[in-house]
Structure 1
Amino acid sequence: MAVNSSSNNSIHSIFSSDIYCYITRPSSQIFATYFFIHILLVLSLCIFVLYLGLQRWQRQSSTSTAAKTSHSDIFTYHMVTMELIGVTGSILCCCGIILDNAYILYVGFIPWSFTWYGETFFHILTCVERYLAVVHAVTYLSLRGERGIRIRNISTGCAWLLCCGATSLINENSSLVGDFCLLIFSVIIVSFCSFSVLYVLKRPGPGEQGGDRERVDESKRRAFYTIMAILGVLLLRCFGSLIWTLVHMLMESECVISAIEHWLNLPSSLVLPLLFLHRAGKLACCKNN
């Protein structure tokens, strides 16, 4: 997939410098593999999550006694919708790599970037929701009603608007500074919320005595390991993106760094759908739990 010098200049002057890595060997093969696996895994998970969500909605519509949809599930539905937008971008990027067409790649890069911002914002919202549920349980219970639903809807609406605004600026040099600040903010919020939850889970709670102690300890141990895994995935994503952003701010794009950053993003695209399926008891490895 070699390109001539005039094409190189055109790519660097019009498009993101990452696009150049997508159409030059051997990095193009690495990116093509990534996009193919991203499409395969994320698309199948998202379709399954939306299918289960539709079933729940139908059950809730048919009975008045059905439980309300939790805030975390609503965030997951929004996240899955954004992931489907990212899958569209991955399909276009695959076509651009196969056809050796930088303009198709750029068109695919736009929805992929939109999803990257969406993952950042909705992971923050999910971590905050988890923090309130565990650390401030009384306050969280008060937000299960209309006031909490209103706050949740406003938060999700702001996340979508911020994604649109950030994506419209991806060709601006100042967007890298904004991305860097967003990632630092994300690391702070995700770390604070997750470590606060882990601290509470390690402490013995009221009523954890007698015959229920072992059962409660086992439940808290599973929750502790789950939060640890989520924290590891999110921090891996944030630090990978931070390194990528710093490299772009300080020097020319490095294809190896960009490829690593793409692969580090993949687990964070899967974590919320997998957690949803875990809560729904649809994961074979978790059915016994």
Structure 2
Amino acid sequence: MNNSTFKFTTRESSTNFTTYSIGPLDHLEICMYSISFLVGLPTHSYIIWLIITGTGSRIASEFFMLNLSVCEIANALNCFFFVLSIWFSNFLILRMFLAGFSITGRPLFQSVICVERYLAVVHPVTFLKFKPLRYRVIISIVVWTLTLGSCLCCIYILVLLNSTGYAWFFMLQFVFFLPIQLFCLVAVLIALKRSGPGERGRERKQENHMKRRAFNLILITTVNMVMLYVPILVSALFANLTKKMAKPQNL
């Protein structure tokens, strides 16, 4: 995902080869997304290989991470097709379809992982109840269904050429997912500061280590989401505001 996604209204979509002029910012975007593709695709492919070739218990415990890596591969392909769509507009529809993995798939799987770590630390009994793989499969199916629905919505917005609707579609999901991750982060931090009654020194160290790992995972996920999506939202809202202010001047 990038702020150039909101510029789809400026490019031709009826020809195979476009005459879209490339400026300095476009060169920077091409470099960034080329690096994202070249780094992201092999990295997440390797993560998937590590999880699949591991033990059965590891596949169950890392099942959401496995799905997130698959989603990240789709995001890496989105970067690749973004570069191609600059010159070949036929890739624009495919790029908009893959954008749904960035808008919905990635933050949704990240939120599911955060909730899973939250339950493991704060509500261990509930976590053990839903620990079997079948529950993770059901949740993943729901997430993938929502993600594919988001992909279709992105294509629909492309057909309407509605950049404002696209910005709101993106922002509403960010506003929904971020509080979930922040809640999990604060709850695990509070649990980390507290010690259970009757805990011995060694048991306390082991439990604190587990809580600290969960806290670090949620913190990294939340910071990653903020760093990726806040600049995009700010640039998109600024672009839409500039567009609205320019309309009266053109009349």
Query: Which TM-score tier does this pair reach, normalised by the shorter chain?
Result: 0.7 to 0.9
Q: Does 1:205 align with 2:196?
A: yes
- Describe the shift of the 1:46–1:129 C-alpha distance in structure 2 as closer, same or farther (beyond 3 A): same
- Describe the shift of the 1:248–1:127 C-alpha distance in structure 2 as closer, same or farther (beyond 3 A): farther
* Displacement after TM superposition at 1:208 (Å): 4.2
Structure 1 stretch displaced more, 210-219 or 34-43: 210-219
Residue from 227, 231, 239 that aligns with 1:240:
231
- Describe the shift of the 1:224–1:125 C-alpha distance in structure 2 as closer, same or farther (beyond 3 A): closer
Match of 2:243, SS?
A: coil
Could you tell me which amino acid in structure 2 is paired with residue 75 of structure 1?
F
Which ranges in structure 1 are unaligned for 5 or more consecutive residues?
A: 1-8, 61-66, 254-289
Alignment of 1:113-128 (within 5 A): 113-128=100-115
- Describe the shift of the 1:30–1:124 C-alpha distance in structure 2 as closer, same or farther (beyond 3 A): same
Q: Does 1:70 align with 2:60?
A: yes
- Describe the shift of the 1:51–1:199 C-alpha distance in structure 2 as closer, same or farther (beyond 3 A): same
* Corresponding position of 2:79: 90
For residues 168-224 of structure 1, give each alpha carbon's deviation from its aligned partner in whole angstroms, at most 9, with x where no partner exists.
222254443332221111111111111111111122234543456566656655554
Q: Aligned pair count?
A: 226
- Describe the shift of the 1:181–1:115 C-alpha distance in structure 2 as closer, same or farther (beyond 3 A): closer
> When the two structures are superposed, what TM-score results if normalisation uses the length of structure 1?
0.66
> Retained in 2: the 8 A contact 1:36–1:90?
yes
Give aligned-pair identity as a percent. Answer: 25
* Corresponding position of 2:170: 179
> When the two structures are superposed, what TM-score results if normalisation uses the length of structure 2?
0.75
* Corresponding position of 2:138: 154
Alignment of 1:276-287 (within 5 A): none
* Corresponding position of 2:27: 29
For residues 39-70 of structure 1, give each alpha carbon's deviation from its aligned partner in whole angstroms, at most 9, with x where no partner exists.
122112111112112212xx54xxxxxx3633
> Retained in 1: the 8 A contact 2:114–2:218?
no
Distance 2:189 2:34 in 1: 35
> Retained in 2: the 8 A contact 1:90–1:112?
no
Match of 1:204, SS?
A: coil
* Corresponding position of 2:126: 139
- Describe the shift of the 1:229–1:83 C-alpha distance in structure 2 as closer, same or farther (beyond 3 A): closer
* Displacement after TM superposition at 1:241 (Å): 3.9
- Describe the shift of the 1:118–1:102 C-alpha distance in structure 2 as closer, same or farther (beyond 3 A): same
Match of 1:90, SS?
A: helix
Could you tell me which amino acid in structure 2 is paired with residue 177 of structure 1?
W
CA RMSD of aligned residues (A): 3.2
